[in-house]
Chain A
Amino acid sequence: MADTPQPPPGAAQGAPPGAEDEERAGTLGPPRWLSLVFLLPALLFLGAYMVYPILFSVYRSLWDAAGTQFVWFDNYAEMFTSPGTFIALRNNAVWVVVAPIVVTVAGLIFAVLTERIRWATAFKLVVFMPMAVSFLASGVIFRLVYEQDPERGLANAVITTVQDTVSPAGAYPDARPREEGDLPALPGGGYRAPGEVSAGQGVAIGLVGVAPDDLPGDAAPAAEPRPGGPDAITGTVWLDFTPGGGGEEGAVDPEEKGLPGMEVRLVSGGEVRATARTAPDGSFAFEDVGSGAHTVQLSERNFTPPYAGVTWLGPTLVTPAIIGAYLWVWAGFAMVLIAAGLAAIPRDALEAARVDGATEWQVFRRVTVPLLSPVLMVVFVTLMIYVLKIFDLVFVIAPGSVQADANVLALEMWRVAFGINDQGLGSALAVFLLVLVIPAMVFQIRRFRREGS
């Protein structure tokens, strides 16, 4: 209903010859009825598949869900008061403003740049290729690209790889004390062994929450924490969980392993005195600590969680994410049209500008873009019409839990008409969508007319 394409050029161009026919009636050329006969198949087709559905939608929108009761404009009232429509309308506004601009600009950039490179055709082919993929398939592809888990989602895989190179994750992101408060947490992350220790004492720090498979390969059975020499503070950091259960909490049991490579700090008077790393059996030692009380801390660096990536498909980012997918699909279309327009620009205008000393940017900004503006307009308006009725990408990419947040009018129409089986309200939404598309259509048709004359 809403996706009324532009009337075939024949319909618009059919009028002038007809008018001429009238002037020359009975003189020359084929009779008037003949043209009607030739037009008939197209008219019948348009009538059956365009006009009748539109009229029926308008009619159906005045009836209730079951189609048995005439309700006047109740469906329209319901439509404009439902919060679902508002979210859809808001998202549609975002789409109509952002998507055509982004796609047109991207197309312009690709078109201008491909003019200057060697393998232009190959590049264009690659950019244009997504147009050959169905929207549904594109949606499925991007659903995977935006997956949260970096192991599955390409977007997060790239981002997390970069992020983890810049600031690597700790060796034990999941490790934690058994009960909250067993080990007081430090303000910046990390934990502190309870109480204060002085030279000659041993410290036992038990952690849990690390799967046996996640332990470093060199992890050895944990060492019993023993007091070291008179000047030393020693201790053990170990995984206080016996595989298969059992084992005494807080004590080093035979099957429990040390946590090697743990960064341990000795702090006194608010200053870090020494740093040590645990051995494969989880033991560590600070020698020559001097007298006085110290605290033993596990640095926050041990526990830095790996960067989880961006929640692309969460309620806030889902619409921009889908617009990104839309860009991937449509950039090629914009590029090809604009490149065709670019080829038609008179070269002498560009040459003249360059001879007059314009920089390349000035040539682009002051000469190329103005000369291209009719083409840019066509691309922009065409995209606008397509964007208004966007459905498939949103339907496929948005997971069920954020479908309401990513909602657009066409999707809302489908959800209402076939999800909750209210074809009255669904028709009202379809009619509303049609009304929204009309201005862009009228604009487009007028342009074609002007160009034709």
Chain B
Amino acid sequence: MAEHRKRARGAAAAAAAGLLAVAGCAPGGGEGPAGGGDLAGVQLKVAAKWTGVEQDNFEEVLAGFEEQTGATVSYEPTGEDTGAYLGPKIEAGEPPDVALLPQPGLLAEYAEQDALVPLEGDAAAALEENYTDYWRELGSVDGEAYGILLKAAHKSIVWYRPDAFEAAGVQPPSTWDDMVGTTASTLSDSGTVPFAMCGASGWTLTDWFENVYLSHAGPEKYDRLTAHEIPWTDDSVVQTLETLADVWGEKDFMAGGTDGAVQTDFPTCVSQVYGQQDAAMVFEADFVAANAAEAGAAVGEDALAFPFPAVGEEPPVVVGGDIAVAMSENEGTQELLAYLASPEAQSTWAGLGGYLSANSQVESSAYADEFTQELAQTILDAGENVRYDMSDQVPSRFGATEGRGMWSILQDFLRDPGDPEATAEDLEAAAKEAS
């Protein structure tokens, strides 16, 4: 029901935007809405991977820009593989004006190819005002700012089914040892498989690795490994893999055993927990909420989440997200970016739901529900220790390609976690090859 209503709202907004655009084009329609209409007649293209409700919400945010400026913004969905969509467009010299890149690695690649336009004017100022140093650096290549982290995904939470926890008499764990020890074994004793794994989707495995690594080795080492300043054969990597084997090596801890874990993709693993109720926990980002709701659970009641437990001293906070970049010098491109980076636009978006901002000016009260407010607060609180998803920062052929690099090596490790050293060597070899 809620979804329908949102869709309808999106449609209404789009229709309104269409009317405005017509008004903007009409002869003599000089007096535009507040903000000028100074971009009347300008056509902009924005490409991102969002579809469905996410697309509707984003279009509603874009409608705000159309209203302010009179420009027409059209949205193109890129499909799951943004790189595969943009690559040929760049080669052909017809990229969209603004693209949402899912990986900083891609940003660096395109910046090297001169396919990006650096942020200027209002857009650069908006980045400066609203974002902390870490996020500014993340979107920069060689000191030049290109990108704005527009939509964040909180990747350090474990989703669970409270009724399964209740039946087993366990509480959400706060340390890794508790989670793989008491919590998992008690759940297993009670007849519920502790974890659903999404092994067929390689990126979920890299997320496991990153969280354990960040908490185990600390943010500094995390950055050095990301930059490949320390080799993947480093002890910290081997120890992280050994830690992961606490879960990955226990076939009784994973729904469907090892075979099931490797073959289950995201979001099937979510429905294993909330739909079929075959397992008690699934680790993935905040966006699991949408899939849990689809599987029939009421988020906040039947579907709850706890922070990824601390492996070392501090629990990790890993964030992913989509970075907005300018790919053309067309009129209005920088204005659109400035608008998107503004707290107003992002607060609107936050109110629509399914959105998390890394903007320090967006207050947590802007979010529609308590859960998202808490998530936003953890990002703001973790401050300097937040890290962006590692696999998305390394070259994409190592960190973000189906059947290659980290994805396939960690899948092999999930299939047989017997030899962490050999896996670390494989990772090192793949990292070298990709750099």
Contacts and interface: CB of A to CB of B under 8 A. Distances in A.
A241 B170 CA distance: 13
B408 A404 contact: yes
B403 A209 contact: no
A400 B396 contact: no
Interface string B89-112: 001000000000000000001001
Interface string A318-351: 0000000000000000000000000000000000
B402 A403 contact: yes
Nearest to B412: A401
Given A208-B189, A401-B199, A401-B202, A243 B87 contact: no
A415 B407 contact: no
Interface string A366-407: 000000000000000000000000000000000111111001
A21 interface: no
A399 B109 contact: no
A84 B396 CA distance: 17
Interface stretch (B13-21, B24-32, B255-263, B353-361): B255-263
B434 to A, nearest CB: 8
Classify the secondary structure of B's interface with A.
Answer: helix
Contacts of A422: 397
Given A418-B84, A418-B87, A209 B202 contact: no
A245 B169 contact: yes
A63 to B, nearest CB: 12
Going nearest first, the 6 A-B pairs with the smallest beta carbon separation are A245-B169, A211-B191, A420-B397, A418-B84, A208-B189, A403-B403
A311 B259 contact: yes
User: Which of B168, B257, B403 is packed against the most chain A CB atoms within 10 Å?
Assistant: B403
A420 B168 contact: no
Nearest to A240: B189
A354 B112 CA distance: 76
B49 to A, nearest CB: 15
Interface residues of B, number: 42
Interface string A404-426: 10010000000100111111000
Contact of B256 (A148, A208, A246): A148
Interface in B243-290: 256-257, 259-260, 262-263, 265, 276
Nearest to B90: A421
Interface of B: 81, 83-84, 87-88, 91, 109, 112-113, 166-170, 186, 188-192, 199-202, 256-257, 259-260, 262-263, 265, 276, 396-397, 401-404, 407-408, 411, 415
Contact of A418 (B88, B200, B257, B408): B88
B401 A415 contact: yes
Given A178-B189, A245-B186, A419 B81 contact: yes
B87 A313 contact: no
A244 interface: yes
A210 B408 CA distance: 34
A427 to B, nearest CB: 12
B202 A314 contact: no
A314 B109 CA distance: 34
B200 A244 contact: no
A418 B411 CA distance: 22
Given A148-B263, A400-B200, A241 B404 contact: no
Contacts of B407: 400
30 contacts: A66-B113, A84-B404, A148-B259, A174-B191, A178-B189, A208-B190, A209-B188, A209-B191, A211-B191, A212-B167, A212-B191, A241-B190, A243-B167, A245-B169, A245-B186, A246-B169, A308-B257, A314-B263, A399-B265, A401-B200, A401-B202, A403-B402, A404-B404, A404-B408, A415-B402, A418-B83, A418-B87, A418-B88, A419-B404, A421-B109
A214 B397 CA distance: 45
Interface in A50-105: 66-67, 84
Given A401-B263, A421-B87, A422-B397, 16 more contacts: A148-B259, A210-B191, A212-B191, A241-B191, A242-B169, A244-B166, A311-B259, A314-B263, A399-B265, A400-B201, A400-B265, A400-B411, A404-B403, A404-B404, A415-B404, A419-B83
Interface string A212-248: 1010000000000000000000000000011111100
A180 to B, nearest CB: 11
Contacts of B84: 418-419, 421
A204 B153 CA distance: 51
A253 to B, nearest CB: 12
B91 A401 contact: no
